A = this chain, B = another copy of it.
């Protein structure tokens, strides 16, 4: 489904985990993945690990709109995950909001 005619929002979010916080963070991320996929306006929500750096996790998410993402960021599961990031990351969470590329299907 091309998002040219819709306002589907794709985002890439990345974290680098401090090893000593790995269990707490992976647990919160796993719970957030499951709960986020159940949100009515979520289209897809995946968290994958960098094959070359196990501390580096990449979230690939699609939401029906920016509003859907903003609602997501107020959910208990997101806030619980975000809490673990406070002390648990080597560098700040990065979030890249993506839009369709000009001239592309």
Residues of A that sit less than 8 Å from B by CB: 10, 12, 26-27, 29-30, 33-34, 46-52, 56-58, 60, 96-105
**In the bound complex, do residue A98 and residue B12 qualify as a contact, i.e. CB atoms below 8 Å apart?**
no
| A57, B97: Cα distance in complex, Å | 11
Given the known interface contacts A12-B12, A58-B12, the answer about A50 and B96 at a Cβ–Cβ threshold of 8 Å is yes
**In the bound complex, do residue B26 and residue A103 qualify as a contact, i.e. CB atoms below 8 Å apart?**
yes
**In the bound complex, do residue B26 and residue A98 qualify as a contact, i.e. CB atoms below 8 Å apart?**
no
Chain B's nearest CB lies how many Å from the CB of A30?
Answer: 5
Which 6 pairs, one residue from A and one from B, show the smallest C-beta to C-beta distance?
A48-B98, A51-B97, A49-B101, A30-B103, A51-B99, A30-B104
Given the known interface contacts A102-B49, A103-B30, the answer about A60 and B57 at a Cβ–Cβ threshold of 8 Å is no
